[in-house]
Chain A
Amino acid sequence: MTQKEHPRLAAYARELRWALSALPDADRDSIVDEMRSHVLDRVDAGASVEDTLAALGPADDYASAFRDAYTVATSLSSGRTPHLLGALMRNVANSVSAAVAGIVILGAWMFTLMIGNVALLKISDPAHVGLWKSDHFFFIGIIDDPSTGRELLGPWLLPIALASLVISLLLTRWLAVWALRRIAPRR
């Protein structure tokens, strides 16, 4: 069969196999064989190899749907937060759930980064750093003259920063699993 194979079909199969290199061998072989079977059935029905391959789309685009599904499935089964986050980020552009989760996670980490920085500054300069309030301002950070406002958090700034870190870690994991389960059908 290989000797008689149409050159375009052979080239497409090679490109597809290469584009699916992240998948286990058995899955990759099955996907390529099924593509070949699809094309040859269409050709038997009177279509051309070129038109049939064009209908499938470029090999890399065709492979990306399989790759994305595989990434989601493996990250969910591994359960590791970096894998979950990586799979989530790869799906942000094509899933509303992933996009929403990504935005919330980004917001949580921006807040954690901000309050973490302020908490570190608080250790070195406790008199000028904190959550400041007066009749004219309300902000978190460094104040030039502490007598112009009232500091609201005091020593609680560091525990709050640590709590924010823990919450962000848990939120990242929980939202990533939530979004990925909405993308992938579950057993």
Chain B
Amino acid sequence: MNKGVVELALLSILRERAHYGLEILDRMNGEVGLEVADGTIYPLLHRMETGGFITSEWVIEPDHARPRKYYALTVQGRAELRAMATEWRDLSKRINALVGKAGPEKE
């Protein structure tokens, strides 16, 4: 698993709104199909927070019995997301061009 892809997915998910860890994990695995392990997401969130890309806050929701730790993007995180997204688009374009040149695989 490319660590950069997981970080890009994480920052992209948080661009919309704040999420809690399990919510992020389920979206990564469900929507994106990244197969991120349960034991991987929280250290990653901790590392990204230490790096200043995201911030966290314990929130007590009215419809939930226990507090949850919500993560949100910082200004630095938004800048990092823009840089990573540009890099991702460039790479995707080059890969698509390469795959296009190869043409359909013959059986």
Contact = CB atoms under 8 A, between A and B. Distances in A.
B39 A42 contact: no
A54 to B, nearest CB: 9
B50 A37 contact: no
A62 B39 contact: yes
Interface of B: 20-22, 37-40, 42-43, 46-48, 50-53, 56, 58, 66-69, 76
B35 to A, nearest CB: 12
A182 B37 CA distance: 23
Contacts of A52: 38
A66 B43 contact: yes
Contact of B46 (A38, A57, A61, A69): A69
A40 interface: yes
A69 B66 contact: no
Interface stretch (A28-36, A120-128, A134-142): A28-36
B69 A34 contact: yes
Interface in A34-63: 34-35, 37-38, 40-42, 52, 55-57, 61-62
Given A55-B39, A65-B46, 12 more contacts: A27-B46, A30-B58, A34-B21, A34-B42, A40-B66, A42-B22, A55-B37, A56-B38, A61-B39, A184-B47, A185-B48, A186-B51
A159 B7 CA distance: 48
A139 B58 CA distance: 66
Contact of A185 (B40, B51, B58): B51
B37 to A, nearest CB: 7
